[in-house]
Amino acid sequence: MQKVLIVDNSALMRRKICDIINTDKDFQVSEMSMNTQDAYNKIVENAYAIVVIGLSARMDVLTFMRQLQTLENRPRVIFLTSSIAEDMQTIRQAMSLGAYDYVYRENRLHGMTDKVASELLRSLHNASRGLPAPKHAQPVDPYEATKRVREMVQRVSQKLDRSVDTTVHRDVDKDATATSSGMRKDTLIALACSTGGPQALQVLIPMLPADLPVPLVLVQHMPAGFTDSLARRLDQTSAIHVKQAEDQEVLRAGWVYIAPGGKHMEIGKDRSGRPMVSLNDKPPIGSLKPCADLMYESLCHSDYKEILCVVLTGMGADGTKGIQMLKKHKKIYVISESQDTCVVYGMPRSIEQQGLSDKVVPINQIADAIIKKLGD
């Protein structure tokens, strides 16, 4: 019987994890700790096969993993996370320090569902058998990810028979990129997200290349005053331009336009027929302002021939009706975030249940999916 140590700062969660593990005759929870320092002290004194840790702000798991590296007989470490978008950077660093796997639980308070229990026990058995870490838990080198995106951009530009400078550097002059040579005037990316969106965007947007050949318009449910700081933060960490959209602003390739909190954003045309942002103070739709449905519906009357729709984590179903209507008027391709990385699996679930999703991928693979689709 394999001995397991549970680490979580919630007594209720420790008990829930313990109950799940003790249902399996191959494992026995022999100790529980409320923090990583106490857990390390227990590991020094006792032999454990596996440690299960609930990630939280009060858990210094990276120091813990470094401490474990000094021990001759180290247990395998499995994390439980309720927010992959928030915890992914920590998880990746922990994996590079020797952690074995992570399991996603949907909710901080009530997230120990049968599915979570099954995934946790599966991970425990794999760890106890000495199997290699699961593919999803392999550490990701962010520089390699950027390299892959650059290579895909180069393939896209070759298909378009354009000469696009595909070198991506965050310290370059952004105004020197995303110019007319690689621009696709017939295509637009339209993205919607809500709860957990800011964290998801911090994963996705920095992976987009500076010379993305199309514009990206984005509705994130946020109150007035918050979207501008979100845009500025993303702009600082990304090769691509990111800004809060302004009324009457003409859309340009290589730019991300975030709808201002407290305003609806629609896509119209200026007097020359160029695609343009139109902001308005129409009443909230289902308490939402901005509303993704309204943005998608406005694209029905645009000159864009193809719309690449992206739906990320969020509560409710905003975006579903708009995409359904858009599908009747335009050629669309829909990418939705998979349940594994959603903070709230509401908006993507609605898209998938209506049969609208063409591709379902975790947040760290959406940039790749976008670039590949643009190369079709």
Active site residues: 194, 221, 318
- Specify the length of the chain in residues: 376
Structure tokens at 310: 């992206």
d(CA 346, CA 291): 15
Task: Give one DSSP letter per residue of 166-205, joined into a string.
Answer: ----TTS-GGGSS-GGG--TTEEEEEEE-TTHHHHHHHHG
Q: State how beta strands 187-193 and 255-258 pair.
A: unpaired
Q: Are 264 and 232 in contact (CB under 8 A)?
A: no
Among candidates 141, 149, 345, which has minimal Cα distance to 239?
149
d(CA 294, CA 313): 18
Phi, psi of 327 (to 5 degrees): -60, -25
Q: State how beta strands 264-269 and 275-280 pair.
A: antiparallel
Residue 46 amino acid letter: N
